């Protein structure tokens, strides 16, 4: 059951279900699967629309969201996180589809400034861990909207 | 159905009220890392439960265990006891939510004539195994694709971080305070201090101690979190009729139900973020039993983190949604205060992290009148099981 992938905990860019999310981030786009038949946003990704069975297409979003909830992590639960603590990991609700909750980092602000439903915008940043030398993956992070 | 029915559902169960009884219980020692295997722990718990029921291993013709762990299955049973007889078995028993639904499986097998005496067993050796696990008990989560790619890289891992986020949302929505979460931890520790078998038996905790304990991930503190333990327990179920011939005081199974969350263990995506699938489980279990939350003398509910206790207390109907923080203040949860005695063995927070099996055994002791922190006159006991994806509700009464 142990995780063998050498670049863990970076995302697996070969994973069929999630790789488009990171491909979008690499071109500064926040993309989420949306059903081409019924229009439902589907998150987490599925092979097909769970509502109608329709085909899903990775679709651009505004990148605007509201802060749903967050935690300030102070204990390095993985060795990869040791140099990052404390950091803010959060769930943010996408503006056009609040049922889509994206797990992300909140950056460019003091944790003390965070409040419920705080307006946020996406910012694409390289994610790297000292335990995975010479690798970085562009990922969506969020910051307060000006 | 109570709550918002679009995020989960109730498993359909037949009415088994009064059909079966729990007639034997067995426990090992509960410890920090012991060096023992889970299989060895399971064997000892099984042996003690069978003896407590006044039975021989050859009388046990049914076994429910955890298929996900499979530490003590039929092969292990026969190897331990030198038996070879036919046994009905199901891998959908054991601990967590299934510690509450195993008596239903037993009732169905017994009613169908497939078994007479069914043993449910659950051991765990996570304290011993911890060093070799990626992220400890979070390891199983880190292997799931969506979590591995969409959660772990963003630091949302493992369980203390999930539940810190749920705690925060409960605070934002309902005004729950840190001291109110602390009231759960303090009550469980008080009970463990009264229970010689509890891992935290000798360690006192006041609300000030709670508030001084370090954050693992704000707002979740070390003392909001369960222990990591080695230990196990087991219980024997038989027909209510057969139970009359056995030596132990009879504890009757009155109601059982199971609720499921549509988002499984993807807590981040659960529509009703500050609820548990108890919303879908407790009402049908109480209905089967013909009882209400007001009838309950003692509650044991799965408490991996204090917020899970608060959510289950709400979702099982002991107080309105969102009011659990104010409800648990003061002595509400104390075993001897006459309100809602909660986890009188100390729970996962202060007794041992054996994933709920000791919660059910404690209920049986309470209804027999032999518990360490005995609730005076306890006649109705309820277990609330939980995994995130599942919740179960088991209603037991004194015969």
Element (H, E) at B365: helix B357-368
**Are residues A48 and A69 located together in one domain of the fold?**
no
Report yes or no: B333 and B340 within 8 Å, Cβ to Cβ.
yes
Residues of B engaging A, defined by a Cβ cutoff of 8 Å: 132-136, 138-140, 142-143, 145-146, 148-158, 160-161, 164-166, 168-169, 172, 214-220, 266, 268-269, 271, 273
Q: Are A37 and A96 found together in one domain? A: no
- Do residues A34 and A52 both lie within one domain? yes
Asked if residue B144 has pLDDT above 90, the reply is no
**pLDDT tens across B159-199, in order?**
999 999 999 999 999 999 999 999 999 999 999 999 999 99
A55 and A67 together in one domain: no
Residue A5 falls inside a structural domain: no
Asked if residue A2 has pLDDT above 80, the reply is no
State the pLDDT confidence band at B134, using cuts at 50, 70 and 90: low
| pLDDT band at residue B135 using 50, 70 and 90 as cut-offs | low
Residues of A in contact with B132 (CB under 8 A): 2
Residue B130's pLDDT is 83
Residues of A in Cβ contact (< 8 Å) with B223: none
Answer yes or no: do A49 and A118 share one domain.
Answer: no
Tell me the per-residue pLDDT of A88-114, one tens digit each, with 9 for 90 and over.
999 999 999 999 999 999 999 999 999
Mean pLDDT (whole number) for B36-47: 96
Is the distance from CB of B243 to CB of B396 less than 8 angstroms? no
Interface mutation target, options A45, A77, A81, A97, chain B, most CBs of B under 10 Å: A77
Looking at the structure of chain A, the number of domains it has is: 2
The pLDDT score that the predictor gives to residue B1 is: 33
Top residue of B132, B135, B145, B149 to mutate, by most chain A CBs within 10 Å, is: B149
The predicted-structure confidence for B97-110, as pLDDT tens digits, reads as follows 999 999 999 999 99
Mean pLDDT of A5-31: 96
Q: Are residues A31 and A75 in the same domain?
A: no
Domain that holds residue A34: 13-60
A116 contacts B153? CB cut-off 8 A:
no
| Residue A4 resides in a domain | no
| Fold category of B20-130+229-243 in CATH | Peroxisomal Thiolase; Chain A, domain 1 (3.40.47)
| Residue A43: predicted pLDDT | 96
Query: Is residue A7 assigned to a domain?
Result: no
Cβ-defined contact of B165 to A127 (cutoff 8 Å): no
Q: What is the pLDDT of residue B136?
A: 65
Residue range B190-249, pLDDT digits in tens: 999 999 999 999 999 999 999 999 999 999 999 999 999 999 999 999 999 999 999 999
Q: How many helices (H) and strands (E) does chain B have?
A: 15, 12
> Per 3-state DSSP, what percentage of chain B is helix, strand, and coil (rounded to 5)?
40, 20, 40
Q: How confident is the model at residue B71 (pLDDT cuts 50, 70, 90)?
A: confident
CA distance A4 to chain B (A): 10
All residues of chain A having their beta carbon less than 8 Å from the beta carbon of residue B220 are 71
Question: What beta strand segments (E) does B110-160 contain?
Answer: 117-125
- What is the C-alpha to C-alpha distance for residues B201 and B351, in angstroms, rounded to an integer? 8
Banded pLDDT at B41 (limits 50, 70, 90): very high
What pLDDT does B140 receive? 76
Chain B positions touching A111 (Cβ under 8 A) are 218
Closest residue in chain B to residue A3, using alpha carbons only: B143
ipTM for the whole predicted complex goes beyond 0.90: yes
């Amino acid at each position: 059951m142990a995780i063998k992938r050498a670049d863990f905990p970076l995302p697996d860019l070969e994973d069929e279900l999630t790789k488009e999310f990171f491909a979008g981030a690499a071109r500064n786009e926040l993309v989420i699967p949306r059903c081409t038949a019924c229009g439902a946003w589907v998150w987490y990704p599925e092979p097909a629309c769970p509502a109608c069975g329709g085909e899903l297409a990775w679709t651009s979003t505004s990148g605007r969201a509201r802060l749903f909830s967050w935690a300030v992590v102070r204990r390095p639960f993985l060795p990869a996180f040791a140099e990052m603590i404390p950091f803010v990991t959060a769930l943010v609700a996408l503006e056009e589809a609040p049922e889509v909750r994206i797990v992300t980092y909140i950056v460019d602000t003091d944790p003390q400034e965070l409040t419920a439903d705080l307006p946020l915008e996406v910012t694409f940043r390289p994610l790297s861990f000292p335990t995975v030398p010479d690798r970085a993956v562009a990922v969506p992070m969020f910051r307060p909207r000006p | 159905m109570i709550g918002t029915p679009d995020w989960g559902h109730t498993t359909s169960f037949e009415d088994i009220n009064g059909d079966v009884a729990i007639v034997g219980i067995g426990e090992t020692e509960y410890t920090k890392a012991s060096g023992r295997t889970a299989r060895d722990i399971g064997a000892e718990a099984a042996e003690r439960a069978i003896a407590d029921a006044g039975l021989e291993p050859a009388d046990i013709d049914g076994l429910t265990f955890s298929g996900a762990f499979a530490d003590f299955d039929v092969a292990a049973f026969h190897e331990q006891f030198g038996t070879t007889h036919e046994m009905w078995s199901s891998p959908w028993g054991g601990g967590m939510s299934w510690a509450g639904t195993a008596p239903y499986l037993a009732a169905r097998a017994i009613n169908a004539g497939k078994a007479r005496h069914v043993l449910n067993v659950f051991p765990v050796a996570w304290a011993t195994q911890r060093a070799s696990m990626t992220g400890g008990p979070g390891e199983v989560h880190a292997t799931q694709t969506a979590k591995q790619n969409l959660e772990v890289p963003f630091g949302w891992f493992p369980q203390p971080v999930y539940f810190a986020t749920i705690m925060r949302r409960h605070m934002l929505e309902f005004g729950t305070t840190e001291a109110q979460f602390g009231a759960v931890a303090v009550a469980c520790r008080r009970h463990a201090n009264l229970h010689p078998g509890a891992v935290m038996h000798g360690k006192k905790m006041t609300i000030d101690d709670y508030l001084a304990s370090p954050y693992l991930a704000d707002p979740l503190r070390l003392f909001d979190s369960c222990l990591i333990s080695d230990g196990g327990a087991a219980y024997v179920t038989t027909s209510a009729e057969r139970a009359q011939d056995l030596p132990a005081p009879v504890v009757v199974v009155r109601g059982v139900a199971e609720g499921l969350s549509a988002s499984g263990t993807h807590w981040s995506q659960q529509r009703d973020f500050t609820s548990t699938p108890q919303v879908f489980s407790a009402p049908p279990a109480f209905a089967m039993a013909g009882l209400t939350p007001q009838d309950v003398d003692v509650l044991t509910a799965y408490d991996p983190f204090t917020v899970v206790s608060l959510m289950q207390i709400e979702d099982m109907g002991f107080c309105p949604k969102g009011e659990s923080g104010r409800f648990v203040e003061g002595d509400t949860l104390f075993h001897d205060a006459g309100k809602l005695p909660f986890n009188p063995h100390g729970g996962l927070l202060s007794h041992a992290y054996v994933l709920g099996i000791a919660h059910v055994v404690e209920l049986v002791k309470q209804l027999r009148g032999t518990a360490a922190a005995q609730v005076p006159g306890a006649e109705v006991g309820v277990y609330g099981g939980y995994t995130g994806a599942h919740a179960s509700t088991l209603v037991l009464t004194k015969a």
